[in-house]
Structure 1
């Protein structure tokens, strides 16, 4: 069987009742986290600018705002907000931010086409299953080629979730997966100037996922061999000889991908989190900035292009968005403040932070945990010539070192209260916790 046939069999055959309760609960947690990150970003400039584009009428609520627009536009705009602050979750092995796509797709668009919340939860879980497996199979090679994995793998997750919500049959799903390959796009050049293209990858995947599923439902055909043919997605967007396509269906229905997702404790590029943890560990040792002569970091190949290069520019980020992709700046923030929050980026000209950041260098080194984990490995050289090593093998928030539900709830409230009152925030928590019994999601 072709991989698209195997995945389609799984999608049509999975019943909500067959999904373990722990998987359903984790799906709810990921949705809640994404809602919070979207609410925190609801008044960001890129969100407000995008709202001007979506000049439509409808009855679907924009999260964190009073306006209502059509369901597809609302899902796209809410997706932009969910990813705008780089505070949304990550499947570390797949290097994928799928909840920013799937949460608004399912909650904003899903309830406009279905009143069956169990189907909508299943769609979210299926979307993660397919998107993550595409990302895992790529073995990081999408990024090595300059593509954003969330944009490439994400369209397959969006299409799969849309197929569930629109009740496609097996043949239609196979066609939809084939068509999805023609809508995969999104390059990492946003790193050159901290531009908005990255958040549009999210909106693009949402819009195209809905469009492709509807095309397949109405008889449009796609290539059956999208994962293994001559011009398959791994050849076109990745480095095919480095990929492991067997991962597309390995332990399908046994290892659930939502259980492998990490929730961010820091609003920054996830690749830097282990290194931030190392910097905070130096602070917790009681070290002062003037006691440290230099810090040398050991970083895997893929993160380097995101958080290390070009190093001179990373020392002095010129925007909050650029700062979130600067390893030295983020480590300096962690060292001085013991944490990184959304308010950490309000002043990018702190002399002590900029001075400390310039003490930080790196070299490329493969770590055993990457990309399942985003580890941190550093050597700090003190003025008295002592060398202090810090190794964080499993970054905080990873599924093997998770945030507790109370920590997750605190993160959600801290984010949500930036745009809504406590009563509404608590109502969102209550609805998500009881989601399978709802017929609509009332913001």
Structure 2
């Protein structure tokens, strides 16, 4: 059977009552993590400027709240901006098997539409799970390495499907309508990594447009428009064939309904590209186990997987960062920051902090290399080996197979709460929000209970 039809049937038939308890609890943690990451970015100057411009175009007092603001916009635009905020701080979750940032697409889509439709908390959680399961499987089907190495950003290319899946579930589309919505979502797949070369800030557009496109695809399907159900496998115009040399259609529906990919999501402890996190962990381990200073170091070599090298060690911006975007995608900078300061936090990505001479002195000694061993392990394991050569001729080495926050090196629910609290505090009573989200399946009307601005 056609993979899109199978996904549509899964979405239509999915019922939270049949979900294992650990899946339910994990889903609520994903919602909390994603919502907090977005709220934490709500007062960013770029975000505030975008909201101001959108307010000039869309005036809708009965719309959906932009998170962290007393501003309402029509549902598509609200989801668009909320998804943008979710990606801004680089703290959003990662499904490593598909290299997708799912929460920043699916959670805004589902929460905004659930409010628009007066859905229940149960309806909302069903939509979130459908979005995670569909988006992760489309991402895996692309063939992670080939898809990325062609320059595609899978959070957006697969994200349109995740958003459409969540929206279709909330709108209670038929199997046929859902299949058409997924087809229309796929024909809107987009998103390229060119922003790295220019140090552009447009990466946050990717989950935002994916969220909006997924919702609109469902609106159009409900209105009777048909989409290409053969979007993944068409003889002419196959999305997978166009975007990858190593795609695998079987992964789209493999173990669908029995294996929950939402259980395989990483929670990010550091506000930067996930591909830098193994290097950060290696720096913290070296700092903990050895008494060395930047002045003691002659050279640092970090061997990692090819994609991690390309994203965070190849470009001039990653080797010599000057802007927050470049620093967040710089393995040399984040490694040096961790070694010098013993932590990597949001405040360390201001332009003043980036120019710190102690960090600069150490980061200039860092070389990042692509290593076949780590490349072969990827995307199941996002690891690295760090070798520090000291001026006295001795060397130290540490290997990180899986970064902190991964499924193989997980953080606790309390860790997620501790991460969420200061982010939520930017705009809300954090304890109230955390309690609401972790009890969300009991909410009967999301339009009344989840206006978190109150």
Q: TM-score, normalised by structure 1?
A: 0.96
Who is 2:451 aligned against?
A: 442
> Residue 404 in 1 paired to residue 412 in 2?
yes
Counterpart selection for 1:339 from 324, 336, 343: 343
1:227-242 to structure 2, matched below 5 A, reads: 227-230=232-235, 231-239=237-245, 242=246
Q: CA deviation at 1:58?
A: 3.1
Contact preservation (8 Å) 2:39, 2:423: yes
Aligned to 2:136, the other structure's residue is in SS state helix
Counterpart selection for 1:420 from 427, 442, 445: 427
> Residue 323 in 1 paired to residue 327 in 2?
yes
Aligned to 1:183, the other structure's residue is in SS state coil
> Residue 67 in 1 paired to residue 71 in 2?
yes
> Residue 394 in 1 paired to residue 394 in 2?
no
Q: CA deviation at 1:267?
A: 0.2
Contact preservation (8 Å) 2:76, 2:216: no
Alpha-carbon distance in structure 2 between the residues aligned to 1:226 and 1:106: 24
Counterpart selection for 1:283 from 261, 281, 287: 287
Q: TM-score, normalised by structure 2?
A: 0.93
The range that moved more, 430-439 or 215-224, is 215-224
Equivalenced residue count is 437
Who is 1:110 aligned against?
A: 114
Who is 2:15 aligned against?
A: 15
Alpha-carbon distance in structure 1 between the residues aligned to 2:234 and 2:21: 37
Who is 1:138 aligned against?
A: 142
Contact preservation (8 Å) 1:126, 1:161: yes
Who is 1:48 aligned against?
A: 48
Alpha-carbon distance in structure 2 between the residues aligned to 1:298 and 1:83: 27
Who is 2:61 aligned against?
A: 58
Q: CA deviation at 1:266?
A: 0.2
Q: CA deviation at 1:176?
A: 1.4
Alpha-carbon distance in structure 2 between the residues aligned to 1:193 and 1:44: 21
Alpha-carbon distance in structure 2 between the residues aligned to 1:219 and 1:70: 22
Question: Gaps spanning 5+ residues in structure 1: where?
Answer: none
Q: CA deviation at 1:430?
A: 1.0
For the aligned residue pairs, the C-alpha RMSD in angstroms reads 1.4
Who is 1:173 aligned against?
A: 178
Alpha-carbon distance in structure 2 between the residues aligned to 1:68 and 1:216: 26
1:367-378 to structure 2, matched below 5 A, reads: 367=374, 368-378=376-386
Contact preservation (8 Å) 2:33, 2:416: yes
Alpha-carbon distance in structure 1 between the residues aligned to 2:260 and 2:140: 13
